[in-house]
Amino acid sequence: MPNARSLRACRPLLPRARPLGIRPEWKSSFFRNSGAGRRTARPKLRPARLQPPDRLLGYAGDRPLTRRWRMQMTARTFAPLAVACLPGALALAGVAQAQVPDPVTCLITPAETADLAFAVEGLVSAVHVSRGDVVAAGDVLAELDASVETVRLELAQARAADRHRIAAAEARRDHLEARADRATRLAANRTMPEAEAAEARMEATVAAEEVAAAEAERALAVIEAREAEARLRQKQLVAPMAGIVTDRALSVGERQQAQGPVLTLARIDALRVEAFPPISYVGSVTVGDTLTVLPEAPVDGAYPAVVTVVDQVFDAATGTFGIVLEIDNSDLSLPAGLRCELVFDPPS
């Protein structure tokens, strides 16, 4: 990589300033006391002035040079300079293109963290996990006392399963419909008054409505059973995702208040890496890039991470912007909560 020392090699090729002719200037007072026996004063010389190269190429003393001479002197002076400095300039351009941003510090955290709480108040009846346990999505972690909800669910399920009222209503409906048909035929033969036949048909219609009411009541019983089942599920704390228990704040026999966090669950099969590089790194990383993460000791190894987020709003106070990466940790080999170093891979 070229440095200041190597670039200084071009300095001797620059045209150096030189005096443009030292001309003595005689003053009228130089020959003071020039009589006999007197010493003559020495002429005073004007100090030479250093002139820039453009003056050197245009003038020699007080006489201007020709245009052809100036062009020849320009070519002779600056052509060796350009040839000598060209390799250094090309090397600097190559270094600028291939320059890789320095590593930045980062932090490895779980992909997701959830503070779990019961939806209702109640007395803790069971806790099935402890800190450090690995759980799967859907596992029951803790339970509240649900004896009342269990009885209500059984009652609602029994009502939903009862079809006796519907069967009785259907039998009565069938009987009254047959009676109404017979009365209608007799009324047509004028062997039964028309009023009695009309009353029979009305009773058959009421019986049919009673069947519909019984079926609706059973449908409501099914809905009540679902409600009781939902209330019973509120007494259970279920894992919303696969992860590891990082905190437990309840014990059996405690009365738990609603919305109070009792367990903390962290998902570590995928890890989140967050870093804040300087704004000068903008353009060096885009979404989808793969960078290398080096965890701090005692964890060894290099882990590939995929960029998922690049902030579009920068922090002017610190001169940084945020990026988020994700590490596949399906084998749970890398713990979370580590400081790390984010290495930017050289461009291909």
Q: Given a cut of 80, is residue 44 above it in pLDDT?
A: no
Q: Which of 309, 306, 296, 304 is nearest to 336 (CA)?
A: 296
pLDDT at 93: 47
User: What are the DSSP E strand ranges found in the chain?
Assistant: 24-25, 44-45, 59-60, 63-64, 104-117, 122-127, 134-135, 140-144, 236-238, 243-248, 255-256, 261-275, 290-295, 303-310, 323-328, 338-343
Q: Given a cut of 50, is residue 239 above it in pLDDT?
A: yes
Q: How confident is the model at residue 176 (pLDDT cuts 50, 70, 90)?
A: confident
Average pLDDT rounded to a whole number, residues 258-287: 90
pLDDT tens-digit map of 331-340: 888 999 999 9
How much is the pTM?
0.56
Tell me: domain 104-111+267-343, CATH 2.40.30.170, correct?
Answer: yes
- 301 vs 29, higher pLDDT: 301
**How far apart, in whole angstroms, are the C-alpha atoms of residue 166 and residue 134?**
50
Sorted by where each begins, the domain ranges of the chain are: 4-98, 104-111+267-343, 146-234
pLDDT at 82: 55
Q: Given a cut of 70, is residue 52 above it in pLDDT?
A: no
pLDDT tens-digit map of 63-85: 455 566 566 666 566 555 555 55
